[in-house]
Chain A
Amino acid sequence: MKIYLGAKIYMGLKKEYKPLLLILGAFLALFFLPIESARLQGAIIEAFALAKWYAQEHVILCLVPAFFIAGAICVFVSQGSVMKYLGPAANKVIAYGVASVSGSILAVCSCTILPLFAGIYRMGAGLGPAAAFLYSGPAINILAIILTARILGPQLGIARAAGAVIFAVIIGLLMHLVFREEEKEKVKNAAAFSPGESRPLWQTVLFIGFQVAILVFATWGRPEGATGLWAAVYSLKWFLVMISASGLGLVLVLFHGIPFWKIGAGFVPAV
């Protein structure tokens, strides 16, 4: 009887040890939590301060437009054309070139790149080009490189620029090499896929281009000096955003069959 009971407890422990450990761990952590320590309090405040700053500066202007662009890529850019330029079977030079250049144009902040990356990866882009895109976005940023050169010295600036470009390609290639077996599967699946365009390419380019313009202008940074092209664009940024938004509205009406009154209604709250 005793042995039986022991076995039963043992079986119970075996099944339940994970939640038990979790509860024990949480209990001990709370029991010894040094809540009085200034460092811990500071760290908690820092965590929320960073999140607050993030929510204020990045969610509306960076993330939300990026989600819309990524959503648009998923729906309006045909899978065939993603496969053609970025797919595992695509010409390597074109694929990596397109990936790193488009990444750096869209590089408003590192968070913007994530939805776009998720979009093209799901659409069947090769792992290598997708990784190059993911890396190049925030790293090959013209403004960041200029700023680095000016503040930290030309040496670091040049090293950063060269390093980032080389990195994007090498990391993409290495990712492709490491997972090349899986990529082969993808090529097979891609071969079965016939590229079909539902609308002319230039319409899709305009459509996504206007959204990118909104994103880029809305997040245009405050310049150091008060003159030059950069500053001129900055002073006009909301105007440029409005123009881009109007362009987007026009594209929606003309090519996507959305009634004109709806665009007007959509603009009223935005203005």
Chain B
Amino acid sequence: MAGLSFVIGSTEGEGKYWLESTWGLAKQILPLLLAGVLVAGFFLGRPGSEGIIPSEWVASAVGGNSLWANLFASVAGAFMYFATLTEVPILQGLLGAGMGKGPALALLLAGPALSLPNMLVIRSVMGTRKTVVFVLLVVVMATISGLIFGAMV
């Protein structure tokens, strides 16, 4: 990558412009992402270990298929940082601890697409209002699908 940067950066015209926009994006996004990861780790911990919020609370809050359980699952999923595929083992653990299937789906639908770091970045790109609407849409829709799925299963 350093090699690539050198190559395109040292060539005038488009190459240089490419490097500049790459760097501009990196400057905008990286600090927010890292800060968000730190905060998310502080509150919820890495997958499999816990942060300041005890995981028993989480497990007890998502049992059954109540509105509350679904809402909680989608909000928790929205804020927590999952890398791709880590949501599956986490859910395996939670389902073992008595999580309902509805909330499990809610968490799957809200989880990977959103996280605290992502929200910070999205906000810097399209502004606070649109970000809030986007997050609300995801959370509300995840909750509703969780409720429907939980009732069907």
Give me the interface of A with B, judged by CB distance under 8 Å.
39-40, 42-44, 46-51, 53-55, 57-58, 60, 63-65, 67-68, 70-72, 74-76, 107-111, 114-115, 117-119, 121-122, 127, 130-131, 134-135, 137-139, 141, 143-144, 147-148, 151-152, 155-156, 159-160, 163-164, 167, 170-171, 174-175, 178-179, 221, 252, 256-259, 262-263, 265-270
Is the beta-carbon distance between A46 and B22 smaller than 8 angstroms? no
Is the beta-carbon distance between A51 and B29 smaller than 8 angstroms? no
Is the beta-carbon distance between B85 and A110 smaller than 8 angstroms? no
Is the beta-carbon distance between B15 and A43 smaller than 8 angstroms? no
Distance, CA A121 to CA B149, complexed state (A): 33
Kindly list chain B residues whose C-beta atoms are within 8 Å of the C-beta of A63.
26, 30, 33
Is the beta-carbon distance between B108 and A160 smaller than 8 angstroms? yes
Distance, CA A125 to CA B28, complexed state (A): 19
Kindly list chain A residues whose C-beta atoms are within 8 Å of the C-beta of B3.
265-270
Distance, CA A67 to CA B50, complexed state (A): 31
Is the beta-carbon distance between B84 and A46 smaller than 8 angstroms? no
Distance, CA A76 to CA B17, complexed state (A): 10
Given A42-B51, A115-B29, A118-B25: A266 in contact with B109 (beta carbons within 8 A): no
In order of increasing CB-CB distance, the 3 nearest A-B pairs are A71-B22, A50-B41, A266-B3
Kindly list chain A residues whose C-beta atoms are within 8 Å of the C-beta of B30.
63
Distance, CA A106 to CA B94, complexed state (A): 29
Is the beta-carbon distance between B101 and A155 smaller than 8 angstroms? yes
Is the beta-carbon distance between A131 and B88 smaller than 8 angstroms? no
Q: Smallest Cβ distance from A55 to chain B, in angstroms? A: 8
Q: Smallest Cβ distance from B107 to chain A, in angstroms? A: 10
Kindly list chain A residues whose C-beta atoms are within 8 Å of the C-beta of B24.
71
Contact with B121, one of A72, A118, A138, A170 (Cβ below 8 angstroms): A118
Q: Smallest Cβ distance from B34 to chain A, in angstroms? A: 6
Q: Smallest Cβ distance from A270 to chain B, in angstroms? A: 5
Kindly list chain B residues whose C-beta atoms are within 8 Å of the C-beta of A151.
88-89, 92
Contacts of B26-42 to chain A: CB distance below 8 A: 26, 28-30, 33-34, 37-42
Q: Does B59 count as interface, using CB distance less than 8 angstroms?
A: no
